[in-house]
Structure 1
Amino acid sequence: MPARVLFAGTPDFAVPSLEALVAAGYPPQAVFTQPDRRAGRGRRVTAPPVKRAAERHGLAVHQPGRLGAEQVEAVRELAPDLMVVVAYGQILPRALLEAPRRGCVNVHASLLPRWRGAAPIQRALLAGDERTGITLMRMDEGLDTGPMLAQAATPIAPGETAGGLHDRLARLGAELLAERLPAILAGELPEQPQEEAGASYAAKITADEAWLEPADRPAAALERQVRALTPVPGARLRLAGVEVRVRAAEVAAGQGGDEPGRVAAAGAAGIEVATAAERLRITRLQPAGGREQPAADYLNGRPLQPGDPAC
């Protein structure tokens, strides 16, 4: 008898795992995802990426506003062997965690116990981690605290943004899930408890964290911040009072006499901002309400002079 698998996920990150289940011969009996919501500048009602992927495969889709008793009973009636959860966006109640015969398995974008929580990709970049990866974890009632079933590590490339790392980890998670799923369904994978000593929490990125603070922070930390916040929400800075989103930047050698929080140089190579240590060279940016462009193009319309504020 074919394995009975359910899937719960919502954003783009979850789509490769859903596609992997279908390709491996485990099309979910039902797919749970968040309700359609308004998005974009036009505030049009938009279906989640997982819903669109599920409908392409003709899978049954459920979009409850919350997971209550009705949804738990619906899952029990399906008598699943396993539920796969990838960035679903809701807390699963204990009754639902226990409903599948083999429980619920989460595809998490970090090497647990490091970076439990909502923003593991961004936090790994902000912290300057040299590597990250995927963990398959059996879910419990804690926040990413369940026993681990498998991990796959990958180095973080120099200059890699959150967007690029997101896409790589989504593919890596799908590959690991497809590879280990038969053993999970058979109950053959040993479970490894997480070591609390190495645990860290990946809180959501706040609006305040989008602002660069060159007067107080070194260029290396600001460069990581730019990468961690690209493409969304975008690292922000005011150049001579004009708000921009910094889309690409690099560390440049500073010079004696630079005043942190000021423009140090501006030209064809970019806009160099003096920081608490060295300079941050901005190479691509996006003015508020405008298009992304090379820093040199921005300067054609808005020249900057050494000493202009950058804060």
Structure 2
Amino acid sequence: MPRLVFAGSSDFAVPSLEALAGGSWEVSGVLTQPPRPTGRRRRLMPTPVGQRAAELGLETLTPVTLRDPASVAQLAALRPEVLVVVDYGLILPGLVLSLPAHGCVNGHASLLPRWRGAAPIQAAILAGDATTGISIMSMDKGLDTGPVYKMQDTNIGELETAGELRTRLAAMCAELLAATLPEIVAGRLRPRPQDETFASYAGKITPEDAEVHWQGAAIELARRIRAFAPRPGAWTTWRGQRLKLHRAGALAEAEGPPGRVWRAGPEGIDVATGLGSVRLLELQAPGGRVLVARDFLNGRALLGEQLGA
């Protein structure tokens, strides 16, 4: 098999690295983002891919950018014949894209051209998409614009959170890459151009996006709560403190003004919105752990409480 360099950073990319490193591929090196300060003590920690690559005994490069000659020279010294990219987080300039003989192959967590960009999993849930999936594509200079070799779809669960969907898609990406890559390097699989008329973009998520404004429609707010779980975590205020919301559904009926808890029981905590109610299923008090509604209500009386500003 040709020499392969893997480029990835997040936990989403780890199953793909493991699948390729555990197969018949010669993984000559790994590209990942530099260690960053984490936790209260701000200790420098490697990325999940960097940590796993070290455990596998793989040579690891951590360039700040791939636009300087020194970083490109380091990559060229690994003599990659194919570069596999999964959730790497750095832009690949033209010189890097043209370096491997078999090109740069990317595993992306959407059914391209829908949801190009940084947050395709969250975007699919926010939009109420019934399905999403994995696209294996040939990279070009655009943002997720290259021709696609293969796609695999999956249904999005009615109450599935972004974290749960991300875990499933990470495993799918690893399996699809392992199955598709030999066909690509052998020249037996040709990519098809994306249809630009169906393109959509999923921008980065900010902490400000995660606040729940109860004046909205219940179905959209429930999607927002699931899309932002576990990170950055949808939230509202309760008695002057920030209350994180991790899983929710939507109901047609409601009583009281938006933000009022009008029903609370083992099945969930129902909050009135501008249209219908959000049923909170999993919550997290400040400093606490994530609890299902039944356990959260033990020792806490929420009925009649007002959430949010």
Coarse TM-score class (shorter-chain normalised): over 0.9
Instruction: Specify the SS of the correspondent of 1:84.
Output: strand
- Which of 236, 260, 263 pairs up with 1:262? 260
Structure 1 segment 43-54 matched on structure 2, within 5 A: 43-54=42-53
In 1, Cα distance between equivalents of 2:178 and 2:211: 39
Instruction: Specify the SS of the correspondent of 1:133.
Output: strand
In 1, Cα distance between equivalents of 2:172 and 2:273: 36
Indicate the RMSD between aligned Cα atoms, in angstroms.
1.7
Alpha carbons of 1:157 and 1:283: their partners in 2 closer, same or farther (altered >3 Å)? Answer: closer
- Counterpart position of 1:172: 172
Provide, for residues 109-141 of structure 1, a one-character-per-residue CA deviation record: whole Å limited to 9, x for no partner.
000000000000000011000000111111111
Structure 1 residue 57 displacement after superposition:
1.7
1:119–1:205: 8 Å Cα contact kept in structure 2?
Answer: yes
Would you say 1:304 and 2:291 are equivalent positions? no
Structure 1 segment 271-310 matched on structure 2, within 5 A: 271-306=269-304, 308-310=306-308
Structure 1 residue 292 displacement after superposition:
2.2
| Percent of paired sites with the same residue | 48
- Counterpart position of 2:184: 184
2:236–2:307: 8 Å Cα contact kept in structure 1?
Answer: no
In 2, Cα distance between equivalents of 1:307 and 1:247: 19
In 1, Cα distance between equivalents of 2:19 and 2:266: 45
Provide, for residues 44-93 of structure 1, a one-character-per-residue CA deviation record: whole Å limited to 9, x for no partner.
22111111211222111111111121122233333321000111111011
- Counterpart position of 2:98: 98
**Counterpart of 2:304 in structure 1: which amino acid?**
P
**Counterpart of 1:207 in structure 2: which amino acid?**
P
Moved more, 15-24 or 86-95: 15-24
TM-score, with structure 2 as normaliser: 0.94
Alpha carbons of 1:309 and 1:136: their partners in 2 closer, same or farther (altered >3 Å)? Answer: closer
Structure 1 segment 1-311 matched on structure 2, within 5 A: 2-67=1-66, 68-215=68-215, 217-255=216-254, 257-306=255-304, 308-311=306-309
1:251–1:281: 8 Å Cα contact kept in structure 2?
Answer: yes
2:206–2:232: 8 Å Cα contact kept in structure 1?
Answer: no
**Counterpart of 2:260 in structure 1: which amino acid?**
R
Structure 1 residue 298 displacement after superposition:
3.8
Structure 2: 5+ residue stretches without partners: none
In 2, Cα distance between equivalents of 1:203 and 1:295: 31
In 1, Cα distance between equivalents of 2:106 and 2:159: 28
**Counterpart of 1:270 in structure 2: which amino acid?**
G
TM-score, with structure 1 as normaliser: 0.93
Structure 1: 5+ residue stretches without partners: none
2:138–2:147: 8 Å Cα contact kept in structure 1?
Answer: yes
In 1, Cα distance between equivalents of 2:239 and 2:125: 28
In 1, Cα distance between equivalents of 2:172 and 2:159: 19
In 1, Cα distance between equivalents of 2:295 and 2:172: 37
**Counterpart of 1:90 in structure 2: which amino acid?**
L
Structure 1 residue 270 displacement after superposition:
3.2
